[in-house]
């Protein structure tokens, strides 16, 4: 198995034919336990059981402040996150799910009416296609507020193409917010093509530094880690093959806007207004920017822009501009950050 088409075929076969429910997975990589906030757990309880049964995600890439927004879910599978997003964007928003595996998409589509009746509105569309080419499913340039994805990009044999498509379809100021499996090294070529390792989201796992370089090449030099959990390998066959690699399920946030490759200090300060639904007391931009409501926090130029020039702009007061420079900003992530030690992107 060497070509991109063969890899896609192998992944489609795994999700369409081999797996029938999350119980069939050999590792926890695609279903890692990710503490979901209570308000999302409550929404989960209202989803159709068959949609939940076929959930193979590795996190909860469901950011706040989505009301009225257009959200695109890449590799939506049976539609769990799309239906959660349907509630989060509300009747004035729109959710689009794209997936290449007919068996998965069929489940998502089959329960569309069921959810629309329960929610009182229909705002979800499912499209059959490849995330490497979103033009073929009609997603226009600069048309999407937020792109989410749950344990999918690792499965693509053409990751730079997927990420380029994401930055094409995002509106200026839009956000990529996704959970995926990351590895602490490049996976050896022969293991990248192993159908089980690939299907289990291990063989194609993204090596953080290569991911960071792809984003940098796409004009996004500052990508943030929101949270991460280690993935444990339990299956002896899987351990024998790939036990030397450490895997993490990581939730990542990146914005489509001009940013610098390092954090620069312009003496700016940001104050969270406490106005995001379900987040009255604080807001976490990433794993090292915790904003308490009303409490001013010094921020670098990139963080100031992420807050002021995205949909979070209504929820923050950003004081100061970039007219005076004070040198580099010490904005290093904590030791747990996936990007710890990474050169270039600050945070
Ligand atoms: C691990 S599952 C995750 C599904 C869903 N996000 C969830 O959380 O349940 C991966 C999904 O991505 C889809 N997929 C993988 N590669 C794809 C590609 N290149 N284009 C479109 N869909 C893809 C598969 O068909 C499968 O449904």
The residue among 211, 227, 255 that closes a domain is 255
Distance 121 CA to ligand 1 centre (A): 26
Q: How confident is the model at residue 30 (pLDDT cuts 50, 70, 90)?
A: low
Residue 81 belongs to domain with CATH number: 3.40.50.150
Total structural domains within the chain: 2
**188 and 81 inside one domain:** yes
Say if CB 216 and CB 261 are below 8 A apart.
Answer: yes
Contact call for residues 225 and 250 (beta carbons, < 8 A): yes
Q: Is residue 228 within 8 Å of residue 289, measured between CB atoms? A: no
**CB–CB of 263/346 below 8 Å?**
yes
Of 230, 255, 280, which residue constitutes the final position of a domain? 255
Cα distance between residue 181 and residue 155, in whole Å: 10
pTM of the model: 0.92
Query: Has residue 347 been placed in a domain?
Result: no
**What residue spans of the chain are helical by DSSP H?**
4-13, 38-44, 49-53, 80-89, 102-110, 112-119, 159-169, 189-192, 195-199, 208-217, 236-242, 301-308
Dihedral angle over CA of 69, 74, 77, 79, nearest 10: 0
Domain with 333 in it: what CATH number?
A: 3.40.5.100
Interval between CA 155 and ligand 1 midpoint (Å): 7
Span 5-26, average pLDDT: 78
**Is 272 found in the same domain as 251?**
no
> Which pLDDT band, with edges at 50, 70 and 90, does 188 fall under?
very high
**Same domain (yes/no): 213, 289:** no
Whether residue 263 is contained in a domain is answered as no
> Is 58's pLDDT higher than 90?
no
Same domain, 244 and 290: no
Please tell me whether residues 108 and 171 are part of one structural domain: yes
- Please identify, by atom number, the ligand 1 atom nearest to the C-alpha of residue 162: 19
- What pLDDT, in 10s, does the model give residues 66-124? 999 999 999 999 999 999 999 999 999 999 999 999 999 999 999 999 999 999 999 99
113 with 246, same domain: the answer is yes
> pLDDT confidence of 333, banded at 50, 70, 90?
low
Which residue has better confidence, 262 or 13? 262
Q: How many Cβ atoms from other residues are within 10 Å of residue 266's Cβ?
A: 17
Residue 261 lies in a domain: no
Q: Give yes or no: residues 120 and 190 share one domain.
A: yes
**How confident is the model at residue 295, as a pLDDT?**
98
**Domain end call among 203, 226, 255:** 255
- Domain of 314 in residue numbering reads as 268-340
For a pocket test of ligand 1, which of 77, 150, 181, 195 has the largest count of ligand atoms closer than 8 A to its C-beta? 77
């Amino acid at each position: 198995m060497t070509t991109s088409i063969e890899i896609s075929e192998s992944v489609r076969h795994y999700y369409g034919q081999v797996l029938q429910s999350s119980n069939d997975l050999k590792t926890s990589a695609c279903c890692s336990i990710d503490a979901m906030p209570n308000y999302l757990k409550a929404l989960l309880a209202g989803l159709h059981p068959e949609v939940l049964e076929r959930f193979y995600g590795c996190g909860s890439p469901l950011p706040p402040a989505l009301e009225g927004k257009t959200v695109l879910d890449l590799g939506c599978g049976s539609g769990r996150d799309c239906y959660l997003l349907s509630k989060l964007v509300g009747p004035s928003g729109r959710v689009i799910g794209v997936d290449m595996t007919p068996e998965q998409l069929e489940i998502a589509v089959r329960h569309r009416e069921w959810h629309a009746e329960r929610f009182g509105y229909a705002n979800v569309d499912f499209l059959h296609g490849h995330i490497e080419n979103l033009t073929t499913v009609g997603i226009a340039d600069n048309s999407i507020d937020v792109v989410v994805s749950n344990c999918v990009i690792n499965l693509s044999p053409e990751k730079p193409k997927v990420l380029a498509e994401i930055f094409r379809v995002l509106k200026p100021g839009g956000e990529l917010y996704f959970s995926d499996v990351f590895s602490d090294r490049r996976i050896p070529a022969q293991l990248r093509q192993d159908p089980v390792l690939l299907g289990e989201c291990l063989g194609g796992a993204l090596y953080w530094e290569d991911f960071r370089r792809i984003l940098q090449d796409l004009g996004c030099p500052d990508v943030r880690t929101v949270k991460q959990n280690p993935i444990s390998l339990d299956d002896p066959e899987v351990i024998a093959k790939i036990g030397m690699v450490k895997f993490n399920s990581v939730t990542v946030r990146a914005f489509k806007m001009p940013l610098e490759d390092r954090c620069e200090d312009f003496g700016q300060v940001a104050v969270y207004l406490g106005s995001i639904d379900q987040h009255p007391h604080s807001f976490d931009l990433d794993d090292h920017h915790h904003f308490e409501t009303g409490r001013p926090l010094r921020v670098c130029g990139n963080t100031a822009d992420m807050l002021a020039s995205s949909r979070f702009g209504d929820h923050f007061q950003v004081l100061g501009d970039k007219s005076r420079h004070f040198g580099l900003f010490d904005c290093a992530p904590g030791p747990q950050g996936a990007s710890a030690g990474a050169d270039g992107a600050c945070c």
